[in-house]
Every structure is written in structure tokens, then in C-alpha cells.
Amino acid sequence: MKILGIETSCDETSASVVEDGNRILSNVIASQIEIHSRYGGVVPEVASRQHMLSIVPVIQQAMDEAKIGWKKIDAIAVTKGPGLAGSLLVGVNTGKAIAFAQNLPLIGVNHLEGHIYANWLTAQKIEFPVICLIVSGGHSDLVLMKGHGQYKLLGRTRDDAAGEAFDKAARILGLGYPGGPLIQKSAETGKPNIRLPHAWMEGTHDFSFSGIKTALLRMAEGGKIALDDNAPSGLPSKNDAAASFQKAVVDVLVTKCIALAKELNVKQILVAGGVAANKALRETLITRSPFQVLIPPFILCTDNAAMISACAYYQFQAGRTDGWDMDALPALKLA
């Protein structure tokens, strides 16, 4: 079974053809990073307009790379939420139009669920139940997945998500946008020698990263970090600050994830979302976890349509499709 997936939840326009939920025939991603970097973050109106320009060429390229025609496509899958309203609408309406014109089933996919299903695009065998650590720009969640489509939210961020915290930290340190990759690059030549607070949220599986970010801001404002060449000698460098911030965030994510996995006695941990591409998080979790840790390849951690197609395959197998009244749902929840 071949499904054409469409992903436009934020600032990547992506289309992909996936066979049987695990074989990628094509996965085309048009990034808007260069456009939004001049503003220091994603501008929703700009993002939606760029999706309108890119969506048709991206879909055509995905079909060309898959080397199939429309008669070989069995269903259309599209991200319906959560995400930016204008961006989602471009994808949803395009998916509806194609499904209607080609007389194909339409499947709306939760973006967060799609991130989890990026793990099904690897060769690893997944055994339920599993703990899913979803870490992205807007979400830091711990979810128990009992089976396909069966989720229980056990932990979430109380304020900033991990990806959002990285973006804010990068802005404080003058590194630019997007924050995650730039913090990681800066941290590679720094030492984690700054003591930053860890919010453990005792008694819960929740996260909080606002305090770490605020502590970094106060240090920068107080002249306790060497942000430029004119800073007094002996201060921690900008790279040291990046390394310290990254370590603080990773420590909390890894410790709480492993603690929950032990509590529920699962066999595997699945990591999903854009922050799953962070090398420190990947290496620390794999090193410290007594459980098998599954993390998709870097290209499948960030927003892409292959994960949407993979998720839709299992929904279709369960008999779930959507009607023409399906709408974009910017605040859609997973569980």
C-alpha cells in the first residue's frame, strides 16, 4: 500500500510516498530556515505564503522521485494539527483537493503522532508498551504508548518546551536562529562549567525549562558570560554557556525519561521530534538508559512527510479515514 503524505505544520513544506508504512519511496523537504532566520524565528504569515508557493512543486517532486503515477497511490495523508493555523490550512486543503480529484481516501494525522511513527521507518522492531519522549520546539512530553493509536500522556512541559528553550538561549547568547543546531555547534567547543538550575518538578513526570533559560539570561545581563571580545578575561565563554545550557536541558530530559521507563517496566524508549536530532541528547540517553533506545535518523527527526505517511498507514489498517469536513486543528492534542 502506497500513501502520499503532506506535512505543512510549521515552516517545512514536505511530501513523501511511503509503502506499507515502513519503506520510503521519496521524502522531499523544502525548508524555510533562510527566510525566517532574518527575523529570529518563524513568522506565521510568511510561512503560510511560502507553503502556497512550494506545495505543488514539492508534491510533484515526491511523485517523480517515487517513480509512480496517481493510479498507484492508495490514500492521501496530511497533517491536520497541531501547528500554525495558516500553514496547516495549506496542507489540509491541498490534501483534500488531491484526494477528491483522484477519488482516494483522506487521512488526517496528528503531527506529534507522526513524529513517533518516524521510528517505524527504521529497521528496528518495536515491542509495546513503550515510553515515547517527544521533544520539539513546542512540545516536551512523556507518553505511554500501549499499541497503535493508544496513548496516555504522563508528563509534559509546564512552560517552555525544550526546543523553545534552545531557541531562547541561542538568542540570549547571540548565536542566531534556529537555536537548537546553533547551541549544539557552539557547545562542541565549550565546557559545561556553569552551574544552572534544574527544575525536577518532584512528584510529577513534568518538565520545566523556563528557569534554566532565565538563569542564563540573568548571567548574560549581569556580565557573567563573555559574550564578545571586550569581556573581562576569566569569564566563561559563550561556548561554555551553550555547553552548560545544553547539558542542563539534556540531564532533565534523560533522567525523567529513564525514571518513568523504570517505573512502568517497559522494554523500549522511543524518541521523537526535532530536538531528537540533538547529538548530546541522543548519546546521553543511549549511554545512561538500561532500556533499548530507538531514535530515528536525523532527517526523520525534524518535520517531514514520511512520518505522516507511516502513521497514516496504521490508521488506515485500523479502518480510520476522514471526511471532507476535516479541518485544520492548531491546538490538536495527542492524548
> pLDDT of 163-190, one tens digit each?
999 999 999 999 999 999 999 999 999 9
Domains and CATH numbers, the chain: 2-118+300-317 (3.30.420.40), 126-295 (3.30.420.40)
- The angle formed by the CA atoms of residues 100, 101 and 107, to the nearest 5 degrees, is 35
* CA separation for the pair 276, 282 (Å, rounded): 7
**How many Cα atoms are found within 13 Å in the side-chain-facing hemisphere of 202?**
0
Residue 231 has pLDDT above 80, yes or no: no
Higher pLDDT, 124 or 170: 170
pLDDT in the model for residue 82? 97
pLDDT in the model for residue 222? 94
pTM listed for this prediction: 0.95
228: pLDDT confidence band, cut at 50, 70 and 90? confident
- Could you identify the residue written with the cell 506545495? 55
pLDDT in the model for residue 87? 98
* Mean pLDDT over each residue of the chain, to the nearest integer: 96
Mean pLDDT of 288-307: 97
Q: What is the DSSP letter of 1?
A: -
Mean pLDDT of 102-117: 98
Mean pLDDT of 117-141: 95
Helix (H) or strand (E) holding 142: strand 140-147
Mean pLDDT of 231-237: 85
pLDDT in the model for residue 137? 86
Residue 145 has pLDDT above 90, yes or no: yes
φ, ψ (nearest 5 deg) of residue 279: -65, -40
Residue 52 has pLDDT above 90, yes or no: yes
Question: Phi-psi region for residue 266, left (φ > 0), alpha (ψ -120 to 50) or beta?
Answer: beta
242: pLDDT confidence band, cut at 50, 70 and 90? very high
pLDDT in the model for residue 21? 97
310: pLDDT confidence band, cut at 50, 70 and 90? very high
Mean pLDDT of 91-108: 98
* CA separation for the pair 128, 219 (Å, rounded): 44
CA nearest neighbour of 15 among 323, 317, 309: 309
Residue 230 has pLDDT above 80, yes or no: no
Mean pLDDT of 213-222: 96
